[in-house]
Structures are given as structure tokens and as C-alpha cells.
Amino acid sequence: MSILVVGSVALDTLETPFGRADDALGGSATFISAAASFFASDIRLVGVVGEDFPQDGIDFLRSRGVDLAGLEVVPGGKTFRWSGRYHDDMNGRDTLDTQLNVFADFNPQIPADWRSPDFLALGNIHPALQQQVLGQMAKRPKLVVLDTMNLWIDLTPDELKATMARVDVVIVNDTEARQLTGESNLIRAAKAIRALGPSIVIVKKGEHGALLFTPTAFFSAPAYPLEDLFDPTGAGDTFLGGFIGYLARTGDLSDDNLKRAVVHGSVLASFCVEAFSVERLKTLTEAQVSERVNAFRDLSAFALETLDQAADEA
């Protein structure tokens, strides 16, 4: 099934305790598309870059089977650049520089033959632009998944909530969930977000895993136990890409399959953070994904026996 991905395509300059990367491939649409491509084959990207966008970025996305007919290249323009430094404990980061460049005037135009996607991934962009994309759909996709960030919760909370009301799945991290709702308890916060309209809410908690809330299920996914986070950039987008990619591959929106999709998103994100930018996704194999999905199950699985059985054995 087809996935339409709308978001940023960027060049990131990153400093982490492990080293530095200059003008590395980044942006929400990049990570979402690349991650989704591990499960789904019909992925269409809408974004904007400048003439300076490197050919190897194009080549990488094409190699993952991503259709770039919706990637606008602005003549003479410069690509969106973000520069940041992660703290020593990797639990926070400082933005050193943001150059919106061509992204400042991003006005997503969905190609005419892309307006009926099965799945729609609204990467983190201004909520007005996310609504504009929704307005261009010829028919309602099977599932619309929205990501956002603290910036829009601060600047345009009403517009963001109005946008959330029009989607099926909202993915936020724990800080954003609390900020958006004023609820410190994450169960209450997720409930409050669901009350805005989206039937499904996912709260990402980094090293503590992720929570899935549907109308009929609650699911707590563990985090893969990583001793080193090499570069957390794009982990959230990669989660979204793995999640929607798995759903598009399977075409099944049951609670059980949504849980599996959360696990597959978590698995891809756990690989993403093992290297700078999309580097780990470049070398990742299907066998490695399968192996880690199985490892995920073992992380939190436990067999119950009744106490009576146990006492009999003792």
C-alpha cells in the first residue's frame, strides 16, 4: 500500500560526545521515508531542498525505493540546515544554528496522482502546512499519522490542536505530551490528547520505551537496552517511519497489529541511534531487523504460572 510522506529534508551538523558530522542527511521526511522503506515499497516523498542538496542524499533515498517526484529543488536555493550539540548524557541538546533557507517558504504541493495515498505521514512541520496537505487529499487515507514538536506547542497550540483533530494517530514524546496537555501523568496526558480527536496516541519515552493508546487497548513497549546512543537525531522520525511502514505492509489496523507496528518502529529507531544521520539505515539488513524484533519480545515477555502450580513445584 502507498505511503505519502510530507516533511523536512535537511542537512544537519551534529556534535555528540562521540564525534561530529557536518552537513549530514537529515529532516523528518528523510528519516520517515528511509525507515518505512524497510517494510513498504510504495513510498512518495514531498519536501523541498536547495540546489546545494548533495546527490548522495538523492541517491540514498532512491536506493531505498523512495519516489522523489514530489521533492522540489529550488533553483539557486539553499537547503534547510540545522546544527546542534548533544549534552554529555545525551538526554538533552542545544540548537547552535537554524537556517530555514528554502524550507521557510515550504508550501507542500501534492502531485495530482499522489492525492489518494493509503497512508499519510505528516512529519513535523508547521501545523498549518499539515492541514494544507490534508486539504489536498482527494479521499481520506486509511490512516493519517501526525508528528509535531515543542516549537508548535509553544507557538501555535490552537492550530496544532485543530490539526490533531483531523488525524488518526498522534505521536509525541513524553515532554511534548505533558506540555500540550498540562497533565504530568502520561496516562492522563494521552487521554487528553485522544479527547482532541485522534483515536490513537503514541507517547515516546526514549530510554523508557513507548506507550500506545487506542480506543480498546493500552500497550507498553520496552526500549531496546542500548549502552551508547551515538546520535539520537531522527530517532523519532525513524520510529514513525517504521510504524507506518509496518502498517502499510500489513494493511491491518487491529490493536494486535498496532502493537507490532510500535515494536517495529522502536526496533528501527534503536538502530538509527547507533550511528550518525542515516548511516546505520544504510547498512541495516532485513535479517538484523527480524533478529531485533525477536529480541524485543524477549525483553518484556514473561510466562505466568499460577501460584498453586508454583507451590506444587517448590
CB 25 within 8 A of CB 2: no
Q: Which of 234, 198, 228 is nearest to 214 (CA)?
A: 198
Q: Which of residues 198-227 bind a copy of itself (CB under 8 A)?
A: 205, 207-209, 211, 218-223, 225-227
Report the residue from 72, 250, 274, 288 that binds a copy of itself according to the rule CB under 8 A: 250
Cell of 314: 517448590
Q: Which of 295, 289, 41, 227 is nearest to 281 (CA)?
A: 289
Binding of a copy of itself by 294 (CB under 8 A): yes
* Residue carrying the nine cell digits 513498504: 40
Cell of 29: 521526511
Q: Which helix (H) or strand (E) holds 172?
A: strand 169-173
> Radius of gyration of the chain from Cα atoms?
19
- 29: Cβ contacts below 8 Å, ≥ 6 apart: 5, 6, 7, 8, 9, 45, 46, 47, 123
- Please, which residue, 54 or 87, has the CB nearer to a copy of itself? 87
- Please, which residue, 73 or 299, has the CB nearer to a copy of itself? 299
Binding of a copy of itself by 63 (CB under 8 A): no
Binding of a copy of itself by 98 (CB under 8 A): no
Give the binding-site size for a copy of itself (rule: CB under 8 A).
54
Cell of 63: 536506493
- Please, which residue, 149 or 186, has the CB nearer to a copy of itself? 186
Q: Which of 94, 89, 129, 90 is nearest to 109 (CA)?
A: 129
Q: Which of residues 139-198 bind a copy of itself (CB under 8 A)?
A: 184-188, 191
Report the residue from 51, 256, 283, 291 that binds a copy of itself according to the rule CB under 8 A: 256
Report the residue from 73, 99, 259, 279 that binds a copy of itself according to the rule CB under 8 A: 259
Which spans of this chain sit near a copy of itself (rule: CB under 8 A)? 1, 39, 88-91, 184-188, 191, 205, 207-209, 211, 218-223, 225-229, 249-252, 256-257, 259-260, 263, 290, 293-294, 297, 299-307, 310-311, 313-314
